[in-house]
Structures are given as structure tokens and as C-alpha cells.
């Protein structure tokens, strides 16, 4: 198998996995913000700050306005949550999306 074929097959598998968990309709910025938030979360219920997400290598190149739109969209779609009683700029990845 040539290298290009392997890359294309991996991309096809990734798209199918994204479809299976409902990520297929997210924009590239939303996917990067969500993945960064997830990578910064070690346990269900763990808080992550927007500044931490913003400084992650996946999101550091995203324009600030786009980053904030992606955060707002992920909140509206339910991928991220604001914990009760938490201050602004604190988020959690929805608990049922973390780990098996």
C-alpha cells in the first residue's frame, strides 16, 4: 500500500468515527477547541480554563474571535458545559464524552 492510500484510509476512518460520535458537523475550529479541552481534562468533572484551551498548540493559531465563537458554539451544542457555581471562563467537557 502506498503512503497516500494509507493516509486517505486513516482520514476515512477518522471521519466515520467523528460521524459515530456526532462531531462531523463541527467546524475545524470547533473540533480543535473541543479536542484541546478534552486533552486538558484528565478526569470527568475537571475544570479547564479558556486561557488553557487558548494556549494549547491546537488552538494557538486560531483567531481570537473564531476561538470565542467556537467555545460559545460548543456550549450551545452541549459538548462543553459551564459547571454550576463556577466563575466565568471555566468549562468542563461533558462527562459522558470522557473516557470509556
CATH level 3 topology of 26-97: Arc Repressor Mutant, subunit A (1.10.10)
CA distance to 40, 80, 97, per residue, from 64 (Å): 19, 18, 26
Q: What is the pTM of this model?
A: 0.83
Query: How many angstroms separate the CA atoms of 15 and 56, rounded?
Result: 23
CA distance 77 to 13: 24
- pLDDT level of residue 98 (50, 70, 90 thresholds): low
Give 67's pLDDT tier (boundaries 50, 70, 90): very high
CA distance 50 to 36: 10
**Tens of pLDDT along 13-64?**
999 988 988 888 999 999 999 999 999 988 877 899 999 999 999 999 999 9
What pLDDT digit, counting tens, does each position of 2-23 carry? 889 999 999 999 999 889 888 8
Amino acid at each position: 500500500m502506498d503512503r497516500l492510500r494509507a493516509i486517505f484510509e486513516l482520514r476515512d476512518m477518522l471521519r466515520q468515527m467523528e460521524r459515530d460520535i456526532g462531531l462531523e458537523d463541527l467546524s475545524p475550529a470547533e473540533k480543535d477547541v473541543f479536542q484541546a479541552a478534552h486533552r486538558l481534562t484528565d478526569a470527568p468533572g475537571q475544570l479547564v480554563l479558556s486561557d488553557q484551551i487558548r494556549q494549547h498548540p491546537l488552538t494557538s493559531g486560531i483567531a481570537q474571535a473564531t476561538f470565542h465563537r467556537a467555545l460559545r458554539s460548543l456550549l450551545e451544542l452541549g459538548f462543553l458545559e459551564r459547571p454550576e457555581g463556577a466563575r466565568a471562563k471555566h468549562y468542563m467537557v461533558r462527562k459522558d464524552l470522557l473516557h470509556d
